[in-house]
Amino acid sequence: MTIAYDDQNIFAKILRGEIPSEPIAETEHSLAFRDIRPQAPVHVLVIPKGAYVTYADFARDASEAEIVDFTRLVGQLAEELDLVPSPGGGGHRLISNAGADAHQEVPHMHIHLLGGRALGGLLPAM
Ligand code: AMP
């Protein structure tokens, strides 16, 4: 069972222009803006403009045009923001939280693009 989309979530309000954000890129189907509580020197959120709660909802229900647009934007931003892995270091991490176990705070599908420092292990030990 999936969670119904709540159009009063913060990212829906950002998309409608009801609250401000710090946008860095916008395409036909996607928007990227700075996270308000950055966890790394670069911490960008990329969201589809459509009403999807989780990545799985997006993958199932979005059109191919939306999926291509979103996927390309994430990759382009990693390059444009200089988060490309090189022999000397660099790189980035992509995270998409879904639901309570993952501590998803905003129920509008998003990917965190993080980089600019060594990010450590993926998760604390069990
Ligand atoms: P998640 O736990 O994956 O749902 O992450 C939601 C993210 O949204 C958190 O990293 C928050 O800091 C971020 N966030 C919440 N409100 C805003 C806002 N108004 N503008 C930008 N980022 C936000």
CATH at residue 65: 3.30.428.10
Residue 49 in domain:
yes
| 68 vs 110: CA distance, rounded Å | 15
110 is catalytic: yes
Q: Which residues of the chain have pLDDT under 50?
A: none
| Domain total in the chain | 1
| Full residue range of the structural domain in which residue 100 is found | 10-105
33 DSSP β-pair partners? 23, 45
Residue 82 in domain:
yes
**Residue 56: predicted pLDDT:** 98
Residue 116 in domain:
no
**Residue 115: predicted pLDDT:** 98
Residue 73 in domain:
yes
Residue 52 in domain:
yes
Determine if ligand 1 sits within 6 Å of the CB of residue 27. Answer: no
**Residue 88: predicted pLDDT:** 87
Token digits for 31?
Answer: 């928007």
Ligand 1 atom showing the smallest separation from residue 34 Cα? 21
